[in-house]
Amino acid sequence: MLPDGVSDGLLGFVQLCQVAVLSCAADDYVAQVVSIWNCLAAFPKRACESDQLAASMAVSRIAKGFFAADRRFDRAAPAAGATARRCHVNRLLQFVREHYSDPDITLRVASSHLGLSIAFLSRALNAETGPVLGSPFRSHLNGIRVLAAVERLREPGPLYVIARDIGYPNTGELDRQFARWFDVTPREFQRFLTQDRTVQVEGWGSTESRSQTSIIHDWRRRQARDQLAPGR
């Protein structure tokens, strides 16, 4: 049984978010982006505002984890068990993570930096990330830029400055990307991240104000604890 105020759709999305957050600790950018893009694709668009609020907060956690992790991939020292192709794609995604704010970044620029052909990198990216995003370089770049924007939207600030700092020439492209991923404007997403909204929860020992993401995490911990309890 779900806790009050939490929908099935939101719970499923938060579960995907937990996987995405855990992936940020992996020494593998490919695993990270595939997990994150699959999660964002399930963002509850056109949901009630309370669900969108909780979902936006969960995305903010993912963005924070993605940029907090600092992985380095050396061509001469691929991760254990990784193929050379995957190592090259990890280096490509690392390059994008480090240079997404450059408005002139392209696959050609990345290929020149990495010393690999455009054709090879394009095939390798498609092979390693599979059907997620259709796998073109530009889609991954835009996804990383959106995560960077989410990080910036946690604090008030002009949208044109955020757009410029993540590599877009104006707010129009930022609007289009947020419409694509979340079906809301950047300003609406910022409102979800900054407003102080709570829901009332009863039957948890007392009546208190709790955020929905906190409710879900506590509920999942209770489920796990009950499953391990003697006699169950």
Q: Are 137 and 125 in contact (CB under 8 A)?
A: yes
3-state secondary structure 79-101: CCCCCHHHHHHHHHHHHHHHHCC
- Strands 199-201, 208-210: pairing is antiparallel
Q: Are 10 and 55 in contact (CB under 8 A)?
A: yes
Does residue 81 fall inside a structural domain? Answer: yes
pLDDT per residue of the chain (232 residues) written in tens, 0 to 9: 344 455 666 777 878 888 888 888 777 888 889 999 989 988 888 778 778 888 888 899 899 888 886 665 554 444 555 588 999 999 999 999 999 999 999 999 999 999 999 999 999 999 998 776 666 899 999 999 999 999 999 888 899 999 999 999 999 999 999 999 999 999 999 988 887 444 333 333 333 344 545 545 554 555 555 555 555 5
Does residue 154 fall inside a structural domain? Answer: yes
Residue with tokens 């409102």: 191
pTM reported for the whole predicted model: 0.78
CA proximity to 215, closest of 205, 195, 200, 196: 200
How many Å separate Cα 134 from the centre of its chain? 17
Residues in the chain, total: 232
Structure tokens at 6: 């939490």
Helices (H), 77-228: 84-99, 107-114, 118-129, 137-152, 159-165, 171-182, 186-194, 212-228
Enclosing domain of residue 39? 8-226
Q: How far is the C-alpha of 220 from the C-alpha of 227, rounded, in Å?
A: 11
Q: How far is the C-alpha of 217 from the C-alpha of 232, rounded, in Å?
A: 21
Does residue 1 fall inside a structural domain? Answer: no
Q: How far is the C-alpha of 212 from the C-alpha of 74, rounded, in Å?
A: 41
CA proximity to 72, closest of 29, 35, 43: 29
Residue 15, phi then psi, degrees to nearest 5: -65, -40
Angle between helices 49-68 and 8-23 (to 10 degrees): 0
Does residue 88 fall inside a structural domain? Answer: yes
Domain count across the chain:
1
Q: What is the CATH number of the domain that holds 26?
A: 1.10.10.60
Does residue 144 fall inside a structural domain? Answer: yes
Q: How far is the C-alpha of 11 from the C-alpha of 30, rounded, in Å?
A: 25
